Structure formats: structure tokens, C-alpha cells
Amino acid sequence: MSDWKSLEVFGLAKEDKQAWLLDELNRLTLHHQASCQPYANLLAGQGQQAGVAESLDAVPLVAARLFKMLRLSSTQPEDVFKTLTSSGTTSQVKSQIVLDRDTAALQSKVLVSLLSSFTGKARRPMLIIDHDGLTSNREGFSARGAGVQGLSFFGRDHTYALNADMTPNWQAIDDFIAKYSSEPVLIFGFTFMVWQHFIQPLKASGRIDQLSQALMFHSGGWKKLQDRAVSNDTFKTTVRQVLGKDVAIHNFYGMVEQIGSVFVECEQGHLHAPSYADVIIRDQETLEVKKIGKSGLIQVLSFIPKSYPGHSILTEDLGRLLGEDDCPCGRKGRYFEVLGRLPKTEVRGCSDVF
Amino acid sequence: MTNTDRLVATFASSLNIEASQVVDGLEYNTIPQWDSVAHMVLVAALEKEFDVMLDMDDIIEMSSVGIAKEILTKHDVVF
């Protein structure tokens, strides 16, 4: 099987992808069965035989909430390099994701390969819509900290736009604008924070059209914006009104359970599965696989997780499969949209809570 | 000061470690002081010290002191 690096990021059509990814996932299932007892028990309990899935939708899945209930690790304690936690609110139990060096390195490498297909290889001056206290605890990052840290590889002269109390750090923002207003820059933040703590204050203070060559990545859930009746279209229109009309804006969908393989929004507004990952939509009651056009629970597949059994996860998010291999943007693979969180689960905003 | 001295000094001050620890075989993520956060501090410091601009592949590949030298050599720094 070819190495992931030789794959074009969005270049694998259905048959080729199935061949490559299925082989990787079957190998991971076997590895985790041998290395993680609770996972092996889970497979046995489901009557599943590891490593023999004949199609992507037959790969055994683990419910995301299981990572909150159990510390699922396929890593020897002495090889644990970092433990990531979902931020969660105080009333919630946090997910724990155990990383070894290889898995952590692979996460960074895959993320770079994926996002640089949008940004190019040059690192841009980067404005982070957050405060700089996020990544100060080295032992373990919150999901938000890990997100900021992962994305910081794409930037240089990293500038944090907010103070710890989420007010704009005007000094930092104005300095950044003064230095880079006519250059391609990168802006990253969590969706709600970009909207509430950056775009709104910029607009209110009359700082308009100051970063017209920006590319913005944002992530982290729409719930709080839906509550304010802000759609993705409204979000993009407003961001362009404020920053500049040609600003490129890419939402992406990803989770702490599968860092590295994210699903990035294309120019058409569709979230795309890269060659290294995939998405399956399942009926929320029966878990039956849904066809294109239908909505249901989102299952995510990724070849990255080796240190914990997270290569096939059933999320608590609802989505709709929009198509496969035929998006007008030209990218191969499945594309979909996220509709929100499954209503009866506890609200698990991974990053838009603070 | 030779370029090797400058490299060692930059590593030592960015990662907050002793200069004697900065040997070609020292690898990223093998000591707590050289994690992903420190890596970005290091990259910025190397860019400033040697007046180069490293691209994304450079900083991802830069997984040891030895490889950092190779990458800087590519950017016309002579060791």
C-alpha cells in the first residue's frame, strides 16, 4: 500500500479510496484489538471480527461518548506523550485522548498537508482570535488549545487578538493591521469567537476593509450562532463586509477524538473528506447507512489514530451527505454538511464554550 | 561566532536548555522543553538569527538538530 504522503489530498475517487483507506483501517482495528483490552472487549461484545471489514461502512465503530467514560489507550503508559481533553463545561465529563509521539507527529503532518492545499506552503502572518494563555499548560491542552497550536504551524509572527477576558486587544490588532494590511495573512479562530469577539467589535469600531487579503479558517460548532440566527452565509457575507470582499473563508469540521483529519469547507460551501479520512451518515435509531441527500448521525474515519482506538468514531453530530466525487469545486471524495448536535445528548460544544 | 555556535545558542535560548544538550541527535518531542509550542518559538528565532524564511515543509521536517542544519543549509547557511 502506498504511503499517505504520496496521495493527493483530495485526489482519490471512490474505488481507490476504498482500497487504500479500508486497508489502513483494518490494520488499525487489529492493532487496537491487540493493544487495548476494553476495545477488544467491545468488539467481542458486538460479535465483530477485527480486521476483516470488506467495506468502509463495516469497520467497527466506537461511540464518541465512550472516550468520556473510559480511558481508551493502545499505548504503554511510559510511551504516553500527551493527553488531550475536550474542554467541556464544568458539569460535563471530559473526553481523554491519549497520544504517543508517532500519533502526535502524524496529526501535525497530515493537518499541514491538508490545510496547505488551501493556503500554499508559505507561512503567513497569523492572527489568532483567542488569548495567549490557552497553550500555557504544556502537559495537556484543551481542545481549543490544541486547535490553536495545530494551526500555528501555518503562521508566523503569531498575534493573539484577544485579551484573557475576551475583549479585543486593540493594540495587538492595530499593530497587525498596520504591518500586514496589504499582505496575505492567515486568521484562525473558533467560529463563535470570531463572530462575537472579533468581527462584531471590528465592525462597531469602524475598522473596515483592513485585512482584505486574509484567508480565514474557523471551526468549533455553530450552535451559539444558530441561537443568534446567524447562518454560514450570513457569517461569510459579514466577515467579507468587515475584512474585505475577497477574503477566503473556510470552515472546518473536526474533533478532539480525531485531530489531524479535518473536513474543510470548499468554495461551494461543502465540507470535504480528504483522501486520509471519510464520513458516513447513519440513521440515528438503527445506525443504518444513509444515502446521498439523507441526514443522520455522522461517523468519521481516519487512518491517523494509532495510540488510541479512535479510527472509526460515531459522533453525536447530525449531518447530511451531499455527494461523492462530483463537487463542482473539483475535489474528489465525499462532501457533506453538518446540521448540529443530536438534540437529546448533553451539549458538548468542544470549543465554543469558555 | 561560527554558524554552528549561533545555531546552538539559538536552540539553547529558544528551548531553555543547556548548550551542551544541543547535539545533532537531539530530537523534537523527546524532551519536554522541545514540544510543539517551543518549536514555533524556535522556528521564529532561527528565522531571525539566520535571516531566512522557512516554509511549512521545513518546519514539519525539522525534527532534530541535525535536520535543522540540513534545512538551513538548503537556505544557504553554511555549517
A180 touches chain B (CB under 8 A): no
Which residues on adjacent β-strands are paired with residue A84? A97
Q: How confident is the model at residue A139 (pLDDT cuts 50, 70, 90)?
A: low
Cβ–Cβ pairs < 8 A, chains A and B: 46
pLDDT of residue B9: 97
Q: Determine the CATH number of domain A7-74+276-341.
A: 2.30.38.10
The CATH fold assigned to A107-253 is Rossmann fold (3.40.50)
pLDDT of residue A135: 63
B55 in Cβ contact with A158 (< 8 Å)? no
Q: How confident is the model at residue A137 (pLDDT cuts 50, 70, 90)?
A: low
Write down the H helix ranges in chain A. 14-35, 37-46, 66-69, 101-119, 143-152, 170-180, 191-194, 200-204, 223-227, 232-243
Which residues numbered 32-61 in B keep a CB inside 8 Å of some CB on A? Answer: 32, 35-37, 40, 43-44, 47, 53-57, 59-60
Question: How high is the ipTM of this complex?
Answer: 0.83
B69 in Cβ contact with B29 (< 8 Å)? no
Q: Which of B37, B47, B56 sits opposite A112 (nearest CB)?
A: B56
What is the chain A residue with the closest CA to B31?
A81
pLDDT of residue A350: 46
pLDDT of residue A238: 97
pLDDT of residue A220: 86
Q: How confident is the model at residue A63 (pLDDT cuts 50, 70, 90)?
A: very high
Ranges of each domain in chain B: 3-74
* CB pair distance less than 8 Å for B29 and A104: yes
Coarse DSSP helix, strand, coil percentages of chain A, rounded to the nearest 5 percent? 35, 25, 45
pLDDT in tens, A234-271: 999 999 999 999 999 999 999 888 988 999 999 999 99
Tell me which residue of A214, A201, A220 sits closest to A134, measured CA to CA: A220
What is the chain A residue with the closest CA to B58?
A121
Q: Which phi and psi angles does A92 have, rounded to 5°?
A: -100, 155
Q: Determine the CATH number of domain B3-74.
A: 1.10.1200.10
CA distance B55 to chain A (A): 5
Ranges of each domain in chain A: 7-74+276-341, 107-253
Report the distance separating Cα A173 and Cα A31, nearest Å. Answer: 47
B30 touches chain A (CB under 8 A): yes
| Interface test mutation site (partner A, options B42, B48, B56, max chain A beta carbons within 10 A) | B56
* CB pair distance less than 8 Å for A149 and B36: yes
* CB pair distance less than 8 Å for B40 and A138: no
For residue B35, which residues of chain A lie inside 8 Å, CB to CB?
138
| Interface test mutation site (partner B, options A149, A151, A186, max chain B beta carbons within 10 A) | A149
| Residue percentage of chain A with pLDDT more than 70 | 92
Tell me which residue of A176, A185, A40 sits closest to A124, measured CA to CA: A185
pLDDT in tens, B3-45: 999 999 999 999 999 999 999 999 998 898 998 888 999 999 9
What's chain A's average pLDDT? 90
* CB pair distance less than 8 Å for B37 and A138: yes
* CB pair distance less than 8 Å for A101 and B44: no
Average pLDDT rounded to a whole number, residues A296-314:
97
DSSP helix/strand/coil, A119: helix
Report the distance separating Cα B9 and Cα B20, nearest Å. Answer: 10
pLDDT of residue A354: 36
* CB pair distance less than 8 Å for B40 and A152: yes
